[in-house]
Structure 1
């Protein structure tokens, strides 16, 4: 009898755990163009307006290491391209930024006049209930820099989770009947 309850508890845990990890999305900033000095100063604001960002999502900045930076800044530093007033800076690519708080986030490049030339991005992060891309095409997936272990839930596709859930369901039916 205890074994039946443990199997049910395990099944519920797997379903909840699997569902949570499916909703996160990796957004490659600038899509195929990456994080570079853009041709237009509105490139990154236009890119951001095509997406809805939620807690748990990840921004991926792809650029040539040493040629650009990704700096998290406050709104004033963003508007004035103040490269001395940064919250955090990285010069290694790809730079993955997990979105952990609701609100606006501001990013700039601190190299030369890159920010004033348009290499800056503001996004609005909301809760999970509004997580979806408003564009008709899905966001580009970021390259995986290190292999994930086979036990990692983020390594599972939605199909694998549905298949796993079906297997657990049939296992439960078999155990309980």
Structure 2
């Protein structure tokens, strides 16, 4: 009987951790195709539309060294494939980019002709996974829960789960 409750506690704790973005993942850009000039210029935009990028995840660009680069650029440079004003450029694979804040990031290859052939990526980073998203409740004043850190939320949620487990055990 105790084992049953222990399993439930582990499952609940895992769900709470993942819901609070503690379960960050490595996202391999292009999946098996990796970072290379695609057959279709829309390949990476299509690929990105099928993924959810969350604060805490890490983008991983895999490519053959010497054949490609990964440049972080602004939106205008991304749209025009302008390589003259990049924010940063990496030349050694794998390139790991931690996603640290909500917003958009734009990447491209700086090798001549590669960006215009579709070797570029734009992503939107959110703070929630698709499973944890829910419409916000209307509120005229900020609530205390808006100011809790993920760790504080984890502790509060875990305490509730542990309390429910104890109530279930003794009842």
TM-score band w.r.t. shorter chain: 0.5 to 0.7
Q: Residues 69 and 91 of structure 1 are in contact (CA less than 8 Å); yes or no, is this contact kept in structure 2? A: yes
Q: Helix, strand or coil for the counterpart of 2:87?
A: strand
Question: Structure 1: which 4+ aligned runs deviate by more than 4 Å?
Answer: none
CA distance in 2, matches of 1:65, 1:131: 34
Q: 1:48 to 1:30 in 2, by over 3 A?
A: same
Report Cα offsets for 1:57-100 as digits up to 9, x if no partner: 00000000111000000000000000111001000000000001
Q: Residues 21 and 54 of structure 2 are in contact (CA less than 8 Å); yes or no, is this contact kept in structure 1? A: no
Alignment TM-score, normalising by the size of structure 1: 0.62
Unpaired segments ≥5 residues, structure 2? 1-12, 132-157, 167-171
Q: How many residues align?
A: 119
Alignment TM-score, normalising by the size of structure 2: 0.64
Q: Name the counterpart of 2:5.
A: none
Q: Residues 53 and 123 of structure 2 are in contact (CA less than 8 Å); yes or no, is this contact kept in structure 1? A: yes
Q: Shift of residue 130 of structure 1?
A: 2.5
CA distance in 2, matches of 1:33, 1:89: 21
Unpaired segments ≥5 residues, structure 1? 1-14, 133-164
RMSD across aligned positions (CA) = 2.2
